[in-house]
Amino acid sequence: MSSRERRKDGGIPSGVVTRLPIYLRYLTELRDQGVGRVSSAQLGKALSFTAAQIRSDLSYFGSFGQQGYGYDVDELLMHISRILGLNRTYAMVLVGAGNLGKALASYENFRKRGFEIRAIFDVDEILVGNYHACCVIQPVEELDQYLKENPTDIGIIATPGHVSQDICDVLVANNVPCIWNFSPVHLQVPDEVIVEHIHLTDSLLRLSFRLNEQRHRD
């Protein structure tokens, strides 16, 4: 692997981290199809990476692969799962029970992987008190008290943009270490807080950019 990419603190470069879930997903598909082993060339072809890239990425986690044999799917899955922290459960709260929030709360894959939405909050009095995906929707004013009583790993923000920083501040003040942000706003958080943004419009704009680039080229 390139020394340029290897981080000085011994941590795993963000590019590799970004690809680990992709490996996990594809290897899970392979295991479910009964595939026992896979070569770096096969992985690369399926995922549109080079075989060298695959070998480089996986080398961060010890030497699983054997020349001429490839990787044992189960073993690789186990290693990647552990590296991704999938050997435990994560307590989550969801703020915002609109269509997007409801979709997130209903998503079975999260729970299967150990990510459990344990409480849902919304500002809308019509929604409060309703059950959704095994949680009663609580008034957002109770978020602060809930977090004081229930240590929480991940706060999901699926609110309109104009309130998301306020919600974020409540999460941060209650030591929620991770924020999963679906609102179209760049949140201000202390350095130690981990944030993942899902900016849907950004993704759509990358599509339109690439479409226009392609049309100008043709």
147: number of Cβ within 10 Å? 19
- Among residues 52, 103, 134, 136, the one that binds a copy of itself under rule CB under 8 A: 103
CA 71 to chain centre: 25
Looking at the Cβ atoms of 68 and 108, the one nearer to a copy of itself is 108
**By the rule CB under 8 A, 163 interacts with a copy of itself:** no
List of residues 6+ apart from 37 with CB closer than 8 A: 69, 70, 71, 72, 73
- Among residues 32, 69, 109, 190, the one that binds a copy of itself under rule CB under 8 A: 109
- Minimum gap (Å) between residue 18 Cβ and a copy of itself: 7
Nearest to 24 by CA among 90, 101, 79: 79
Which residues ranging from 63 to 92 are in contact with a copy of itself (CB under 8 A)?
Answer: 83-86, 90
**By the rule CB under 8 A, 1 interacts with a copy of itself:** no
Are β-strands 71-72 and 37-38 bridged in parallel, bridged antiparallel, or unpaired?
antiparallel
Per the CB < 8 A criterion, the answer to whether 119 and 91 are in contact is no
* Contact residues for a copy of itself, defined by CB under 8 A: 11-12, 17-18, 20-22, 24-26, 29, 46-47, 83-86, 90, 98-100, 102-104, 106-107, 109-110, 113, 115, 153-154, 177-178, 180, 184-186, 192, 194, 196, 198-214
